[in-house]
Structure 1
C-alpha cells in the first residue's frame, strides 16, 4: 500500500516528511513510481532542460538513470512555506566508463492542494570524484 500523500499547508514536520518521501522515491530509480508524485502537467526545469508532464518526466528519468549508474541521493530541507519547499541535495553516481561523480544542487518545489508537485526547478553541478572519495558507499 503506498504511503499517503502529504498535502499543504506544510509545517516543518510535514515538509521534512515530504523531502524524505521524495528522497526515498528517487532512490528507487523507478520512473513510474517517481512520476506519480507530480501533477499530470507538471512543469520542470532540470539543469538546462525543460520538461512538461508525467510522460516527459518518465522519459527523462529513464534516460537519467541509464546514464547515472548506481545513483544514490540525499536531500535536505532548506526552507518551506504553505505550498512550497526548497531543498539542497547531493548524489553520487558513475558513468559507463566507471568515472564517479558527485552532483550538488538546489531545488524549488511548488505543490497543488492535493500534495502533487506542479513545478520543479533544479540547478545542479557535477564534480568528478575518485571512487575512494565516495560518501555514500553501501547506501543502496
Structure 2
C-alpha cells in the first residue's frame, strides 16, 4: 500500500492536517474509503467493542451508519507526539425514530511509518438533543466546508 501522508513523526501542522483528513473521510460515510486509512491488521476499541482488521472496520462502519443517520462529525487535535495523535470529537446524528444526538468523544491514534493507523481507541458518550440544538448544519454528505467553525469556535 502506498504511503498516506502526512507521515510521522508529526508536527503540530501535520497532526492537525491528519485529523482533518480523518474527519473528511468519516463524513463521507463510505466504510471502504475510511478503512483504507488503517493497516490491514489495525486494532480498534470503539466504546465497548474490540476488533481487528480492515474487514471488521468496514462491517463496523456499515452498522454504525445504518443506525446513526445524517451523521456529521468535527474532530479537533488534542495532543501529538512522534507517531501518535489524540483528538477530541463530536458528531451529530439521529436515530430511525427521529431523535437527535450529539456524541462526545476522544480518540487515541497510533500510526505506522507509512501513515496508516495501526491502532485506534475511542471513548464516546451520546447525549440526546433537540433538532433545534443542532450545530453541525452543512450539506448532508461530504466534508465540513472550509470556513465552517470547529469545536472550539462553536463553543463546544
| TM-score, structure 1 normalization | 0.96
Deviation string 1:39-93 (CA, Å, 9 cap, x unpaired) is 0000000000002000000000000001000000000000000100000000000
Q: Distance in 1 between matches of 2:92 and 2:59?
A: 21
Q: Distance in 1 between matches of 2:131 and 2:93?
A: 10
Q: Are the counterparts in 1 of residues 67 and 95 from structure 2 also a CA contact under 8 Å?
A: yes
Residue matched to 1:12:
12
Structure 1 stretches of 4+ moved >3 Å: none
1:21 has 2:3 as partner: no
Three-state SS of the structure 2 residue aligned to 1:32 is: helix
Stretches of structure 2 lacking an aligned partner (at least 5 in a row): 141-156
| TM-score, structure 2 normalization | 0.86
Residue matched to 1:44:
44
Structure 2 counterparts to residues 29-68 of structure 1, below 5 A: 29-68=29-68
Q: Distance in 2 between matches of 1:108 and 1:4?
A: 18
CA RMSD between the two structures: 1.2
Residue matched to 2:133:
133
Residue matched to 1:116:
116
Residues 84 and 4 (structure 1), Cα distance of their counterparts in 2 relative to 1, 3 Å cut: closer
Deviation at 1:6, TM superposition (A): 1.4
Q: Are the counterparts in 1 of residues 4 and 114 from structure 2 also a CA contact under 8 Å?
A: no
Q: Are the counterparts in 2 of residues 72 and 139 from structure 1 also a CA contact under 8 Å?
A: no
Stretches of structure 1 lacking an aligned partner (at least 5 in a row): none
Residue matched to 1:75:
75
Residues 4 and 54 (structure 1), Cα distance of their counterparts in 2 relative to 1, 3 Å cut: closer
Q: Distance in 2 between matches of 1:21 and 1:137?
A: 19
Three-state SS of the structure 2 residue aligned to 1:27 is: helix
Q: Are the counterparts in 2 of residues 16 and 77 from structure 1 also a CA contact under 8 Å?
A: yes
Q: Distance in 2 between matches of 1:119 and 1:62?
A: 19
